[in-house]
Amino acid sequence: MRFYLTFVLPFALTGCCDESSDPNRCKGRTLSGVSTSVVPTAPVSPHSGGDTEPTVSPHGGGSNNGPPRSSSASVSPTVVSPPDGDVGGGSSNGAPRSSSASVRPTVVSPPAGDVVPPRGPTSQSTGDIPAPAPTGPALPSWVRPIQRAPCRDPVAVLGPAWERPGYLGPPQNVARLRANQQRYLAMFREAVAARNWDRIHNDHFDWWQFPCDFGSQTEFNLKSEQDIQNLLADPAWHADYLESVRLVSRAFGWDIDSASLIADDSGGRWRPDKDIRLAKIIRSLWLFGETRYFESLRSFARIIQENIYRGGAFLYAGRCYDEIVIMTLPRPIPFH
């Protein structure tokens, strides 16, 4: 059969032309557009190692007119399963199949010695792309964002109220302040031991527990630098003051000594209705010059504003208290 295709059929198709009598007679004689000088051969396996018809690859390994590929290469193109009835790179009668035919690519196992290129960075266990490593400490589950509008006016730190004209009020009632402080500190200790954080949240004690210069019960307000020095001169008051700051901070969910959020039940949770309490404690620490606790609680305020309020303001009675995140120590005396 090969002999007939190679020698007899071309001779018959060309009309037994004799190039010796007319050299131009046999040139370009064709049948149905197929040159008689091209002799079709038996189909060649795409993995035989010789020149082959390019195999269509679902991975875009090259065009159909590109150079032939060898199976000895380090990475072999992925083999595509042909349609039913086809064998290898052509149809069942041995004629080459056009690469432009519509073929639904199906990946099959590559021949021995071939390497299938990976499809991308994957996890060895699940095949999913690994998640990036966290860049900071994880926040407790109770830290959830809420809607909070930002301040409408520029934020500024005001100096002590006694430096402003018209600041009036009775002299500080130190004896009553001290009695109230001891009574409420005992309550704090009981509430912390019982993990009863709402008992702290729901009570009212800021005026005497954390003296500052703008409380509504003016008899406990600081009215001069001398008031600050008088209280700091009492070691018992000072120790109880710092313990009160520690325990109320724990009710907020903040370990003030390690400057970290508390995830378990050894601490409470921040409540958005306590902005004014946080503002009073931070300002009190600022006035008394308690740098370590001031900076720790200011860090807590920044975490709350960034992760819960999402840039929103600390608010109470229509006033913005965002100065608590920008205040610094030491404060100048006088402030202005």
Fill in the DSSP letter of residue 163: G
pLDDT tens per residue across all 336 residues of the chain: 444 444 444 444 444 444 444 544 444 444 344 444 444 444 444 444 444 444 444 444 444 444 444 444 444 444 444 444 444 444 444 444 444 444 454 444 444 444 434 433 333 333 344 434 444 568 889 999 999 999 999 999 999 999 988 887 788 999 999 999 999 999 999 999 999 999 999 999 999 999 999 999 999 999 999 999 999 999 999 999 999 999 999 999 999 999 999 999 999 999 999 999 999 999 999 999 999 999 999 999 999 999 999 999 999 999 999 999 999 999 998 886
DSSP assigned state of 233? T
What pLDDT score does 124 carry?
35
Q: Where are the domains of the chain?
A: 161-325
Tell how many helices (H) and how many strands (E) occur in the chain: 9, 6
Instruction: Tell me the C-alpha distance between 69 and 54, whole Å.
Output: 7
Helix 291-307 / helix 235-252 crossing angle, nearest 10 deg: 20
pTM of the model: 0.60
Nearest to 197 by CA among 143, 254, 239, 147: 254
Q: Are 187 and 203 in contact (CB under 8 A)?
A: yes
Burial class (CB in 10 A: 0-12, 13-18, 19+), 61: middle
The tens digit of pLDDT for each residue in 128-163 reads 444 344 445 688 899 999 999 999 999 999 999 999
Distance, in Å, from the CA atom of 17 to the CA atom of 184, rounded to the nearest integer, reads 122
Mention the CATH class of domain 161-325.
Answer: mainly alpha
Q: Could you give the C-alpha distances from 229 to 99, 234, 238, 271, in angstroms and in order?
A: 93, 9, 11, 33
Q: How far is CA 45 from CA 49, 66, 80, 85, 315, in A?
A: 8, 17, 13, 16, 79
Confirm if 152 and 161 have CB atoms less than 8 A apart. no
Residues sharing a CB contact under 8 Å with residue 172, sequence separation 6 or more, in sequence order: 211, 219, 220, 221, 222, 223, 227
Q: Which long-range contacts (CB under 8 A, 24 or more apart) does 1-5 make?
A: 5/39, 5/40
Q: DSSP states of 67-94 as a string?
A: PPP-TTSSSPPPPBPPPTT-BTTB-TTS
Residue whose C-alpha is closest to residue 215's, from 283, 163, 150, 264? 283
